[in-house]
Structure formats: structure tokens, C-alpha cells
Chain A
Amino acid sequence: MIDLKGYGPQLAEGAVVTIELALLSLLLALFLGLTGAAAKLSASRVARGVATTYTTIVRGVPDLVMMLLFYYGGQVLVNGISDLLYEHYEIDWFFQFDPFISGVLTIGLIFGAYMAETFRGAFLAVEAGQIEAARAYGFTRWHTFRRVMAPQMMRHALPGIGNNWQVLLKTTALVSIIGLTDMVRVAEEAAKAERSPFLFFIPVAAVYLALTAVTELFIKWLDRRANVGVVQGEG
């Protein structure tokens, strides 16, 4: 392992935190994205309204502001609930709202909105005849989703998911601002202490580049699998 004036192991730990944060946020984003897409395509006006409000707010507000709101506001909210529980029910419950949780919640929520758009487009790209055929075979809604919609829409969703993931990965750097010791935070502290910013930030930037490059290959592989059996037009 490269030593980097003794900060090497700490930076490596920070990189692991970054990866964990990114993967958990992605999971939340995919879940919210599917839910959001289902709401946007549903017949219920309320569901459509809620989903549209959600995506509009996310698009209008900077990610950092949302993160600060969740981190500082989340703690105030938890404190309030904690006081309330103690006063009325004498339940002694407290919960420290840490930067990691706020980061996952914020990034998941933000990218959930973008994923919702991706999934919505992908669902619409599946031929209506496929759904009709599934219904004619007596598939339940869940069954139709799992066996007919999901495999076919994945092909259309994957490029969008890949793009969102690349942006998501870079957004995780922001969580260092609210105090998470990810690799950006470690690098910042090391750079200040050692007065050599290039030595610490350039390796961190390289890790981001490497992570995007590796995941790009993975997405390409997934894309090939999702496109099995699709005859592509030759350009």
C-alpha cells in the first residue's frame, strides 16, 4: 500500500466508506425510482401528483442544501420526537443522526427522482401488446411486472441507470462537508496538516476515476446481458 505520509491506510478506509455510501444510496435510489415510476404511471391522480411534486422539488434544490437540511434538521426532528416520547410515555429513546445516514437518505432521495424518470421512460418503451398478452395469460400484476415488464424494461433503463450512478458516485463527495470521514474528508484534513494538497487530492481523484471506469465495464456487461436476443440494427 502506498504510504502517503502515513495517511495511506486512513485514505483506504475512507474509500471503503465512500463505496458503502454510494452502494446504499444506489439501493435506496433504485427502490424510490421504481416506486416513483409506478406512481407516475398509475391511474391515481394523487399518486401522480405526489410523484411529480417529489421530482420537481428534487430538481429545484441543490444537493448540498438538501443534505444540510436533512443532517441538521433531522437531528432537531429526532430530538423533538425524543422529548415528546419521554414526556408523554416516559420512553427513553434517543437516536444520533449521523452524517452517513443523512448522506444515504439525501443522495438516495435525490437520485430516486432521477431514477424515477429513467424507469418511467423504460416502462413506456415496453410494448403495450406484451402487457396485454400477459394479462390474457392470466398473469397477476406482480407476475406481469416480474416476468414481462422487468426483463424488457431493464434494457432501456440500463444506460440511464449507468449515467445516474456515475453522477451519484461523484455526489458522495459532498457528504464530507457534513463531517463523514470518507476519503475526501481524510484527504482534506491530511492536505491541511501536511500543506501538500496535490499529494492527497490527486490520488482521491484517481480513485473516483478508477471507480467510474470499473463500474462502466460492469454496466457494459449488464447491458450485453440485458440485450441478449435483441437484434440490433447495423449503423
Chain B
Amino acid sequence: MPDFITAWLDQNDVFTTMTMLEYWNGLVQTVQLVFLSLIIGLLVAVPLAILRTNRRWWVSGPVWVYTYLFRGTPLLIQLYIIYYGLAQIPGIQETFWWSIFREPFYPALLAFTLNTAAYTTEIFRGAIAATPQGEIEAAKAYGMSWFLRLRRIVLPSAARRAVQAYSNEVIFMLHASAIASVVTIVDLTGAARNIYSRFYAPFEAFIGVALIYMALTFLLVFAFRKLENHLLRHQRPAGG
């Protein structure tokens, strides 16, 4: 950090260099947690969404049950079940998995991933189901196989339709990740809670962190607007 910023920070009571570092470390945790769960969630959700649109009930049914359960219950409860529950699995403490799941980061990552995958599956299901029938017929007429059709026709156009709803899900996930602080992860909210309890300064601690979250949110909104403009360029009125 440049000297003049350090000098300025040291005049403050609450926002010192040390608390700034704490916020920074919290930011790193939050971004890691949200980014990883979104990426893994997306990778899980796309195949699940394809299964979910399958006409056979025994294929789509289990996926429906999964999305219904994870969308119908609070994320906090899912986090608690996974965080406290994993330790209770008989014998897990002797396996190598325990060295991973002993850290609170990984149970939280698992809970967030499962949750966002459920929401993303439903978003993609809607987008896939809305594919115009004519496009699929045309692909069939060209002799494309099921997989080729999916890869070239259905998924690209579904992705375009899904991007707006998905951007909401991303922002929802960023905000929902604040509950990671209840399982002792020092994310942004965890850092703010520590700073609050050290200085008994609720306004500085929580308004400070709220501003950071807002900045992140608007960054995401901006990025997704750019992406949407890019993906939906062909739908813009000509000459506009």
C-alpha cells in the first residue's frame, strides 16, 4: 500500500490499515467461494437441465425432486445440514475426505454449489423448453444427431435466453454467501462482524461492508449487461 494511504488510514479509529487488510482477506474469501460455487454449479446445472427436459418421468423426476428440495428450503438450513452433517457420517473422520471437509470452506462450498445448481437448472430448463420448435425441426431435417443438435442449436440459443435470469442468480449468490460467516468462515461479512465486535462500531463495520457488496453487485450488473448486449446483438433493431 502506498505510504500516504497508510498514513491517512492510521489517523482513523476504525478503518486502519489492519481492518482494511481484514476486509481485503474477507473479499478474497467471498470472491473465491462465490466464483467457485457458481462455476461448479453451472457445470452441474447444464446436464441436469437437459435431463429435466427429458420426456421420460423417471429421468426428469429425480432432477425435479432435487431442484424442488433445494429451492424450497432456506440455504442456511442446507448449510447447517452439510456443515454439521458431514462430520456425523460414520467413518468419515478416518478417510482423507475429512482433511478436506474439516475446513469450513468446503462444506460451505458444497452447500452453495448444490443450491445455485438447483436454481440454475430451473433457469436453463425454462430456456431449453422455450426453444422454437422450428429450429429443432430444421436441425433434424439437416440430419443432425441428438448431441449435435444440442450442441449447435439448443444450448447456444438457450444460453442467450437464460443469461438475464442467470445474472439475477449470480447476484443472489453473492448476497447469499454472507451466511458463510455463521460457520466461522471469515468472508466479507465475517470480517465486518469481527471489526464490529472489536471496536463496537456497528455503523462503520456494516455500512463499510455494505458499500463493498454494493460495488461488487454493480460490477456484476455492468458485466452482465455487456455480455447481454454482446449475445443479443442480432436482436437489436437495425440502425439503432
- Size of the chain B interface, CB-CB below 8 angstroms: 37
B69 x A209 contact (CB < 8 A):
yes
Known contacts A64-B179, A170-B73; is-contact A59 B84 (Cβ 8 Å): no
Give Cα A196 to B202, complex, Å: 35
Tell me if B20 counts as interface (CB < 8 A to partner A). no
When distances are taken between beta carbons in the complex, the residues of chain B under 8 Å from A198 are 81, 85, 88
B124 to chain A, nearest CB (A): 19
A63 within 8 A of B: yes
B63: CB under 8 A from chain A? no
Given A60-B214, A208-B77, A68:B206 Cβ within 8 A: yes
Would you call A173 an interface residue if the criterion is a C-beta within 8 Å of the partner chain's C-beta atoms? yes
Q: Are B207 and A69 in contact (CB under 8 A)?
A: yes
By beta carbon, the residue of chain A nearest B200 is: A76
Query: Is B210 a contact of A65 with CB atoms below 8 Å?
Result: yes
The answer, among A60, A76, A171, for a CB contact under 8 Å with B202, is A76
Complex Cα–Cα for A64 and B174 (A): 12
Residues A209 and B72 in contact, CB atoms below 8 Å apart: yes
Instruction: Tell whether, in the assembled complex, residue A66 and residue B88 are in contact, meaning their CB atoms are under 8 Å apart.
Output: no
Interfacial residues, chain A to chain B (CB-CB below 8 A):
57, 59-66, 68-69, 72-73, 75-76, 170-174, 176-177, 184, 187-188, 191-192, 195-198, 201-202, 204-205, 208-209, 212
Q: A184-B74, A202-B81, A208-B77 given. 5 additional CB < 8 A pairs?
A: A68-B206, A76-B203, A192-B84, A197-B80, A209-B69
Please list the 6 inter-chain residue pairs (A to B) with the smallest Cβ-Cβ separation, ordered nearest first: A60-B214, A197-B84, A173-B74, A72-B202, A62-B175, A69-B206
